[in-house]
A and B are shown apart, each in its own frame.
Chain A
Amino acid sequence: MAASEPANATGLRWGRIFATLAVLALVAELVSQGLIYVYAGKPFHSLSLYRWSAYGLVRNNPALTSPGFEIEGNGFRSVKAFTKEKPPGTVRVILLGGSVLYSGLAGARLEQYGRVSSAETIAPYLEAMLAADPRFAGRKVEVINTAVNFNRIVEIASAYLEEYLYWQPDLVVVFGSINNFYWYRHAGDVAAGHTPLQLRHPFRLEFERQVNEHSLAAFIERAWRTGAEHSAALALASKACVALADHLVQWAQRLAAPVMKQGPAEPGPETAEEGRAYFQFYASYADAMIAAARRAGQDIAFVWEPALGNLGGLKPLSDGEREILKSIYSSPDRTAQFEASRKAFHTLFDTAGVPVIDPTEALRTTPETVFIDYVHYTPDGNRFVASLIYKQLSEGLAARLAK
């Protein structure tokens, strides 16, 4: 023990204690910066996946330090940058949607594909196809991927009406159907407000807690998260704390399950009338988007997103897809409800004279691996969907430009 610093009445040398804490913080920061550089191949900026948006709740965080998820300055998942002002002579296509378009990943997935990079989403493939088309020769083609994970039609409509309408797209292609129709609805769910479109978005819960709540816990969390935007050590510690807390809660729930009182028996599937009422929620947002697009002179189309577990044996499966299917819970009731939604989806847009791109039929003759998990695509799957969009919409786009 060095005796150069006088101890106070308690015998503690507080200068040394704080100096030790400072040195530990510095070492932790240097190690964390190094770790992040090793993983991401670039210096640390932020580990936050999202940032708040006034319209559509959140946008992807352009500062995200990640090897696979490259986010440009406007929050688009893209390896190249875009400007709101459309350059002269440009054909601009804007893709709106959720994780299928973003190329996110679920827990059970085909690990051999790793993470689908920002250069392998549907947008760059579609852009390459349009750019190679002689009908668009002499024009610059831009296909912008505005997807945010877990976007429902609520967030998509809001983002389009408030923001992307003003980006002057020639064509708007709306994805994200899966986040409205994948989760099984029981009898009484619509009346109780327990459907995906009626429940508050999980990001909204985070928003309320982090922005509107003024408790001590919320204050500590805000301070911690602010620090994590400036310090690699705090960012890593924050991620570790979230993961640890989530696991602790899951373990506790699993341990408590045998002694917990069983809930009431699950009600049966929703009635046809409830199904129609639920679809009206979706249709009202879609109607608003179609009306706005027409008013602004923009073409619009909608994409149906199939789910591997609800294809009912329609697609010839690859070995990988067969493996994933084992981890997906499915039932004839779920498949029937999903299929009823698909039919309603077609009827809505056929009646409105809006093109629908639905890969379901094309999947019948596609034995290759398209799905990387229960709903997202491999890079080849993204190319496959891009080619369907290209086949169905390029002619209309070319005709529009020829006017």
Chain B
Amino acid sequence: MHIDRIPLWLFPLVALVIAALWFAWRRGWLRLPLAERELVVVSKLLFIVGAIMVLVMLRNSIELPAGQFIYGRF
């Protein structure tokens, strides 16, 4: 397998790890040095950064649909 293609199993794996960490935190098995509100702030910051990037890339994809010109992707 080659790295220029994101392996499909990576997405469920990441989702699984996040879900497991959340579950462990809710059950009290995982103790974080943050209060719940602080954790929400961290999540919001990550969400905003991720959303900005997806929006920028979405703009590119709409302007320049991949299709047969997939080679146009850097």
Residues of B29-74 at the interface with A, using a CB-CB cut-off of 8 Å, are 32-35, 37-38, 41-42, 45-46, 50, 52-66, 68-74
B18 CB to closest chain A CB (Å) equals 11
B2 at the interface (CB under 8 A from A): yes
A232 CB to closest chain B CB (Å) equals 10
Partner of B34, one of A16, A36, A48, A243: A16
CA A243 – CA B54 in complex, angstroms?
10
B1 at the interface (CB under 8 A from A): yes
A221 x B69 contact (CB < 8 A):
no
A245 at the interface (CB under 8 A from B): yes
Which one of A158-166, A246-254, A305-313, A320-328 is at the interface? A246-254
B38 x A16 contact (CB < 8 A):
yes
Residues of A197-211 at the interface with B, using a CB-CB cut-off of 8 Å, are 201-203, 205-206, 209-210
Which one of A122-130, A139-147, A233-241, A341-349 is at the interface? A233-241
A65 x B33 contact (CB < 8 A):
no
B72 x A202 contact (CB < 8 A):
yes
- A115 contacts which chain B residues (CB < 8 A)? 2
B72 x A246 contact (CB < 8 A):
no
B57 x A242 contact (CB < 8 A):
yes
B15 at the interface (CB under 8 A from A): no
From known contacts A203-B72, A239-B6, A246-B66, infer whether A20 and B42 are also in contact, taking CB-CB under 8 Å.
yes
A334 CB to closest chain B CB (Å) equals 14
A50 x B74 contact (CB < 8 A):
yes
A206 x B4 contact (CB < 8 A):
no
A150 x B71 contact (CB < 8 A):
yes
Q: What 0/1 readout, one digit per residue, does chain A (52-68) give for beta carbons within 8 Å of chain B?
A: 00000000000001111
B41 x A12 contact (CB < 8 A):
yes
A21 x B45 contact (CB < 8 A):
yes
CA A213 – CA B55 in complex, angstroms?
17
Q: What 0/1 readout, one digit per residue, does chain B (8-25) give for beta carbons within 8 Å of chain A?
A: 001000000000000000
A244 at the interface (CB under 8 A from B): yes
Count chain A residues whose beta carbon lies closer than 8 angstroms to a beta carbon of B. Answer: 57
A47 at the interface (CB under 8 A from B): yes
A245 x B61 contact (CB < 8 A):
yes
A231 at the interface (CB under 8 A from B): no
A2 at the interface (CB under 8 A from B): yes
- A12 contacts which chain B residues (CB < 8 A)? 37-38, 41
- B45 contacts which chain A residues (CB < 8 A)? 17, 21
Residue of B nearest to A236 (CB): B6
- B71 contacts which chain A residues (CB < 8 A)? 99, 104, 149-150, 202-203
A66 x B53 contact (CB < 8 A):
no
CA A35 – CA B74 in complex, angstroms?
20
A13 at the interface (CB under 8 A from B): yes
A66 x B4 contact (CB < 8 A):
yes
- B2 contacts which chain A residues (CB < 8 A)? 39, 66-69, 115
B33 x A2 contact (CB < 8 A):
yes
CA A364 – CA B63 in complex, angstroms?
43
Residue of B nearest to A201 (CB): B72
- B74 contacts which chain A residues (CB < 8 A)? 48-50, 206, 210, 225
From known contacts A66-B3, A221-B60, A243-B6, infer whether A17 and B54 are also in contact, taking CB-CB under 8 Å.
no
A220 at the interface (CB under 8 A from B): yes
A159 CB to closest chain B CB (Å) equals 16
From known contacts A13-B38, A50-B74, infer whether A209 and B56 are also in contact, taking CB-CB under 8 Å.
no
From known contacts A203-B72, A236-B6, infer whether A220 and B56 are also in contact, taking CB-CB under 8 Å.
yes
B37 x A11 contact (CB < 8 A):
yes
A40 at the interface (CB under 8 A from B): yes
- B73 contacts which chain A residues (CB < 8 A)? 206, 242, 246
A192 at the interface (CB under 8 A from B): no
A20 x B34 contact (CB < 8 A):
yes
- A20 contacts which chain B residues (CB < 8 A)? 32-34, 38, 42
Contacts A20-B42, A24-B42 supplied; 6 other A-B pairs, CB < 8 Å: A40-B3, A203-B71, A205-B63, A220-B53, A224-B53, A249-B62
21 contacts between A and B (CB under 8 A): A12-B41, A16-B33, A17-B34, A20-B42, A48-B74, A67-B2, A150-B72, A201-B72, A203-B72, A206-B64, A206-B72, A210-B74, A217-B59, A239-B4, A241-B53, A241-B56, A245-B54, A245-B57, A246-B65, A246-B73, A248-B58
| 5 closest A-B pairs by CB | A202-B72, A245-B57, A150-B71, A202-B69, A245-B61
